[in-house]
Structure formats: C-alpha cells, structure tokens
Amino acid sequence: MTHQIVFLDRSTLQAKVRRPAFEHRWQEYPVTAPNELPERLRDATIAITNKVPLRAETLQRLPKLKMIAVAATGYDVIDISYCKANGIAVANIRNYAVHTVPEHAFTLITALRRNLLAYRRDVENGRWQQVDQFCFFDHPIRDLHGATIGIIGEGVLGQGTARIARGFGMNVLFADHAPPKAPGVVFTPLAQVLAQSDVISLHLPLTDETRNMIGSEELRQMKRSAILINTARGGLVDEQALVQALQQGLIAGAGFDVLTNEPPRQGNPLLELRLPNFILTPHIAWASDGAMQFLADQLIDNIEAFVAGKPQNLVT
C-alpha cells in the first residue's frame, strides 16, 4: 500500500522534516483553511496537523483516512470521540518541550517578580535622570528564593518547571488529580495552592473539565502579590476575568504565551492591556530550535511506527 501523507500546516514547524522510510506520496501546504480540508485530504491515508482543526463534519467525508499525526502535544483540535468510533488512530508528540516551556515560564516569572517591564518603561520615560540618587524603587522587587510556586498540572512540563523552581530555592506545591505521575509528589488541594502561592503556573491540557478553570473566584483566592503564568492553553483561564483582576489589582501580574483563539483575528481582551505587569508572547514557549527539531523527528517516528504496525504515542 502506498500511503498518501498530507501535512496541513507545514509553516508552523520551522525544522527539517525527514520523509518516512516507506513507500508514500507526500503533500504539504504552508497553511490550510477549513473549507480547503475536504479537497486536500480527499485521498489522504495519513494527515499531519498542528493547529488545523479536524472535526467530525470533516472527518466523515474522509473514508480513506487511517491516521492523524498531531505535530504538537495538545490535541484539542481533533474530534477524538469520532476518531475512536471510526478507527482513526491519533498520535501526538511527547516530552519534546521539556526544557523550552519551563524556561519560557521562568522568563515570564523572573521578569514579573522583579518588575522589569515597569522599570524599563520608567527608564525610557526619563525617570532615572530625574532622581537624586543612584537608583529608585517605584515598583516592588520580589525574590524567588523562599517564595512558593503552585504548579497546576503535574506532567513532564510541570515537573520541569518544578526543577527550575527548586533551583531558585522556591517551595513547590502541586495541584493535580491523583495518582501522581512522578515519585515523591504530594498533591495539595487547589484552593490551598491558590491561597498560598506567590506564583501560579499552568501546565494542563485543555479539556471540558479544565476549560476556564481559573476564573473570577479563583483569581480572588490568590494573593494580591501573586502572579499567574500560562504557557499551556488559553482556554484554561477566563480572559475577561483576568483583565478585571489585573485592572483592579487583585493579583500582582500575569504572563501568558497563549490565547483562547489563535491567531486572535477577532481581537481578545488581553491584547488591549497596556500594563507593565502583564506580558503576552505569541505562543512561542515551545519553539526553541532544539525542541522543534525533536518534535519533527518524533512526528515521523510516530508515522513510521503506525505503518509498521507498532503504533506509539496514541491518544485513541
């Protein structure tokens, strides 16, 4: 059998992608719009997608499709229920961003805890030239050493974030569901984590259960001196509630790498914020050169394993 492989959004992966070591035809597109899916996947047996949604209304028109290889860890763009019911294998990427995402999270954490953006803005506005001593203290500067980080999501990225936190001398609390994924982990109730933590960092997939898990009530449970970090999925947080919390001073700051809808063509309340205690980056926490190449290699490994009858990293 000659497999027809179609990569729907090749431009999302800036890495060399080797061709699978079996007989196949390969077609790739920089981007794919929803209305282009039926035609582009008409003869596909294997589809590769990063962020192009594959829902039931599309999948039911693709009887030849045998596998969806997701070029990411998150697979909320796939109708998993339909795939399970119709024998379509779905494989995702595992453990590829174990360094880059935690590092990005801590880049946001350190910038916010030390109010770097606020001080930079002051310098740009001429504040330093106006003071009568060698420095000024207009914004709080808080150490990480001795502070508490609450990590919601105890997978490989949460654990990677915990390792960096311990290196800074932070206390680590985990809020997740049992059983733990790593030895020596003790879970703390979410309400207690929110109330005690100086930093909350999210490392969860987006599911029906986790959608908007951080809303107005949860933000009010946090310390006023705490910051919220999200390098996971935008839909985990009620974005309008976060805007209100920042504007009202309910929390000290937030650093986000994700939004509910990406790209945010219809706007987003977080895009309108012009606050030095809020940092928004364009979903790049995962995108170090090394991480992307690891992802590209595992993507083809997953496809080759499926075709060889030894599927790996399946989510269905």
DSSP 8-state assignment for residue 18 = P
Are residues 48 and 27 in contact, defined by beta-carbon separation less than 8 angstroms?
no
Assess whether 233 carries a catalytic annotation: yes
Which one of the listed residues 18, 233, 239, 272 is annotated catalytic? 233
- Helix (H) / strand (E) element for 90: namely strand 89-91
Which one of the listed residues 104, 113, 203, 283 is annotated catalytic? 283
Which one of the listed residues 262, 265, 272, 274 is annotated catalytic? 262
For 36-62, give one letter per residue: b (16+ CB within 10 A) or e: ebeebbeebbbbbbbbbebeeebbeeb
For tokens 């915990």, what's the residue? 162
DSSP 8-state assignment for residue 274 = -
Assess whether 283 carries a catalytic annotation: yes
For tokens 């790209």, what's the residue? 263
Handedness of CA 299, 305, 307, 309 (dihedral sign): negative
Assess whether 272 carries a catalytic annotation: no
Rounded Cα distance, 312 and 294, in Å:
16
For tokens 């206390």, what's the residue? 171
Residues with Cβ within 8 Å of 52's Cβ and at least 6 positions away in sequence, in order, are 8, 9, 31, 32, 34, 37, 77
Rounded Cα distance, 158 and 153, in Å:
6
Are residues 225 and 142 in contact, defined by beta-carbon separation less than 8 angstroms?
yes
Measured CA to CA in angstroms, residue 273 lies from 142, 194, 235, 242, 246 at distances of 23, 24, 18, 11, 9
Q: 81-84, long-range: CB within 8 Å, 24+ apart, which pairs?
A: 81/56, 82/55, 82/56, 83/59, 83/316, 84/316
Q: Which sequence positions are flagged as catalytic?
A: 233, 262, 283
